[in-house]
Structure 1
Amino acid sequence: MADPSNPVRTCVGCRRRAPVTELLRVVVRGGGLTPDPRRRLPGRGASLHPTAECLQAAVRRRAFPRALRSSATLETGALEELVSARSS
């Protein structure tokens, strides 16, 4: 039985399911991907493990535009900075 106080989401990079507490929410703002660690920004979000491997897999598979229903090319700079800072 799932714990309703800790929902489960799927990482767009590795496609594994994990509790939201282990994943980083990402939204589109200003034409780029914006990390939403507090999970409070408005709009459709995608979940990602905050690791370089999952980020690279998501970019390679073009998972962000599909998950966020965006037809535009999305800038990943802010997201890459956050992930590299967390892994260092």
Structure 2
Amino acid sequence: MEPVRTCVGCRARAPRSALLRVVRVDSSLIPDVRASMPGRGAWVHETSECMDAAIRRRAFVRALRASGPLDTQTLSEHLQRNG
């Protein structure tokens, strides 16, 4: 049975394979496509609606326990390439 995770954007539960893991490297959000990077991760659907909701609600900051704003440029570029 596949593990279930919660999307930080829409708060819906989904199988791990249906979500994208995002990690924080310094103050940037980096997509972890293989879900193998070390550290704390946040899970999100790979849609612009869920990404925008997570950024607007500061869900990545809370989920990754960051103390300040996070740079979302790398994450946005990934979404544009794969979305």
TM tier relative to shorter chain: over 0.9
Name the aligned partner's letter for residue 74 of structure 2: A
Q: C-alpha separation between the residues in 2 aligned to 1:42 and 1:35? A: 12
Alignment of 1:3-82 (within 5 A): 3=1, 6-82=2-78
Name the aligned partner's letter for residue 63 of structure 2: A
> In terms of Rg, which structure is larger?
1
Match of 1:84 in 2: 80
Q: C-alpha separation between the residues in 2 aligned to 1:82 and 1:52? A: 11
Deviation string, structure 1 residues 1-35 (Cα, Å, up to 9, x no partner) = xx2xx100000001000001010000000210000
User: In angstroms, what is the RMSD of aligned CA positions?
Assistant: 0.7
Deviation string, structure 1 residues 20-65 (Cα, Å, up to 9, x no partner) = 1010000000210000010111000000001101000001111001
Residue 86 of structure 1: how far off its partner (Å): 1.3
Residue 85 of structure 1: how far off its partner (Å): 1.4
Which TM-score applies when normalising by structure 1?
0.91
Q: C-alpha separation between the residues in 1 aligned to 2:79 and 2:60? A: 15
Q: C-alpha separation between the residues in 2 aligned to 1:21 and 1:69? A: 23
Unpaired runs of 5+ residues, structure 2, are none
Which TM-score applies when normalising by structure 2?
0.96
Unpaired runs of 5+ residues, structure 1, are none
Structure 1 counterpart SS, 2:5: strand
Q: C-alpha separation between the residues in 1 aligned to 2:27 and 2:53? A: 20
